[in-house]
Amino acid sequence: MSHQLRVDWPACKGRGLCHELLPEIVDLDEWGYPIVTGPITDDLRPDAASAVRACPRLALRIVD
What does each C-alpha distance from 22 to 17, 29, 38, 64 come to in angstroms? 8, 15, 11, 18
User: What is the C-alpha separation between 22 and 36, in angstroms, rounded?
Assistant: 10
| pLDDT tens digits, 26-63 | 999 999 999 999 999 999 999 999 999 999 999 999 99
Write down the pTM of the prediction. 0.91
Q: Which range marks the domain in which residue 42 is found? A: 4-63
CATH number, domain of 31, equals 3.30.70.20
CA angle 62, 27, 42 (to 5 degrees): 40
Separation between Cα atoms, residue 3 and residue 19, nearest integer Å: 17
Tally of domains within the chain: 1
